[in-house]
């Protein structure tokens, strides 16, 4: 049975940085043969919250004997597409909206996710709009496979959108190229300093409608790696998150290099929003929220593939 076709590809702005950390124990007196080291490729966004999360692994504070972790940093919409089209990386950050399109090749990890606890992506504009008025204007969105886009379309399927690279949305709205923009990442904290007004916070709307957190993105791991590797890599990522939370000052200093236009106080606030106890584990309600979001997207015809959500821990 053929799979439903994916949304049309859009032109995506790519910002890619590659880092490699040899997470092999140095305590052995013997040099291990190259084939004794297993490389795990990891891809995530070049954002302060993701950098904070992966601080332990990226800086060798967390080591796994016999494993080498190679990090690629790239914008989330590109990672969504690459996971769908190539299943290229062993571990990839993805938007939850993208998961049904990659579920045959990937399963979700039980850690490393970002959820909005009553906050989330926002629609902002140069003037004040009511939520009802949004159906009469064009909104710049960061990608049709982002969870922000899915939530917006569940909110109102008739809203007209156009894809714009996420880091160009606020400048485009300020320049008057679009009536409004759907913002993600650090823009949620900086939009007002650009003279913009909030029309709707989709995290607030989602909680009012469902009583649940808004799950935005997670880490997916290739099914073909098998249960043993799944366990080892999941433990490594959870240990990396725990290390960052326990060494917050050092991890935040590392993450600041990816904090676009944020001072230390704002970067700390942003990291706290999306790296916390739920990043170590979604919790039962967090996992329920992921299923609910994707089920609603499927029921309303936004996602043509029936979601089959599962996790490795």
Catalytic residue, chosen from 44, 71, 185, 230, is: 185
Indicate whether 256 and 195 sit together in one domain: no
Indicate whether 106 and 50 sit together in one domain: yes
Instruction: Give the whole-angstrom CA distance, residue 83 versus residue 223.
Output: 12
pLDDT cut 90: percent of the chain above it: 83
Residue 20: its H or E element: strand 17-21
First to last CA, the chain: 30
Residue after which a domain boundary falls, among 192, 210, 228: 210
Instruction: Give the whole-angstrom CA distance, residue 81 versus residue 40.
Output: 20
pLDDT confidence of residue 215: 97
Structural domain of 291: 17-115+215-312
Q: Is 311 helix (H, G, I), strand (E, B) or coil?
A: strand
Q: What would the mean pLDDT of 202-217 be, rounded to a whole number?
A: 97
CATH of the domain at 149: 3.40.190.10
Q: Is residue 285 part of a domain?
A: yes
Q: What is the mean pLDDT of the chain?
A: 89
Q: Is 12 helix (H, G, I), strand (E, B) or coil?
A: coil
Q: Is 219 helix (H, G, I), strand (E, B) or coil?
A: strand
pLDDT confidence of residue 26: 29
Residue after which a domain boundary falls, among 178, 210, 242: 210
Residue 35 binned pLDDT confidence (cut-offs 50, 70, 90):
low
Indicate whether 21 and 109 sit together in one domain: yes
The model's pLDDT over 264-275, given as tens digits with 9 standing for 90+, comes to 999 999 999 999
Q: What would the mean pLDDT of 301-307 be, rounded to a whole number?
A: 97
230 noted as active-site residue: no
Instruction: Give the whole-angstrom CA distance, residue 203 versus residue 119.
Output: 4
In this predicted structure, which of 32-41, 201-210, 250-259, 282-291 has the lowest mean pLDDT? 32-41
The model's pLDDT over 75-98, given as tens digits with 9 standing for 90+, comes to 999 999 999 999 999 999 999 999
pLDDT greater at residue 86 or residue 30: 86
Indicate whether 21 and 110 sit together in one domain: yes
The model's pLDDT over 47-63, given as tens digits with 9 standing for 90+, comes to 899 999 999 999 999 99
Residue 34 binned pLDDT confidence (cut-offs 50, 70, 90):
low
């Amino acid at each position: 049975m053929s799979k439903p076709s994916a949304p049309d590809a859009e032109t995506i702005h790519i910002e890619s940085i590659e880092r490699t950390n040899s997470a092999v124990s140095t305590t052995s007196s013997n040099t291990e043969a190259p084939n004794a080291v297993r490389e795990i490729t990891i891809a995530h966004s070049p954002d302060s919250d993701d950098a904070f999360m992966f601080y332990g692994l990226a800086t060798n504070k967390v080591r796994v004997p016999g494993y080498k972790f190679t990090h690629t940093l790239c914008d989330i919409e590109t990672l969504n597409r690459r996971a769908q089209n190539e299943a290229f990386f062993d571990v990839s950050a993805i938007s939850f909206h993208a998961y049904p399109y990659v579920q045959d090749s990937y399963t979700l990890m039980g850690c490393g996710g970002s959820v909005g606890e009553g906050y989330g992506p926002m629609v902002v504009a140069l003037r004040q709009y009511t939520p009802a008025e949004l159906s009469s204007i064009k909104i710049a969105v960061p990608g049709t496979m982002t969870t922000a886009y899915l939530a917006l379309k569940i909110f109102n399927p008739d809203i007209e959108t156009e894809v714009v690279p996420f880091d160009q949305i606020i400048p485009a709205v300020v320049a008057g190229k679009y009536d409004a923009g759907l913002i993600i990442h650090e823009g949620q904290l900086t939009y007002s300093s650009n003279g913009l007004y909030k029309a709707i916070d989709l995290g607030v709307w989602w909680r009012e409608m469902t009583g649940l957190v808004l799950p935005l993105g997670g880490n997916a791991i290739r099914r073909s790696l098998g249960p043993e590797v799944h366990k080892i890599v999941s433990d490594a990522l959870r240990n990396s998150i725990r290390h960052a939370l326990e060494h917050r000052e050092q991890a935040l200093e590392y993450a600041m290099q990816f904090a676009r236009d944020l001072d230390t106080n704002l970067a700390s606030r942003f990291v706290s929003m999306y790296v916390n106890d739920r990043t170590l584990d979604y919790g039962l309600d967090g996992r329920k929220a992921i299923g609910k979001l994707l089920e609603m997207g499927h029921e309303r015809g936004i996602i043509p593939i029936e979601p089959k959500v599962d996790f490795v821990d």
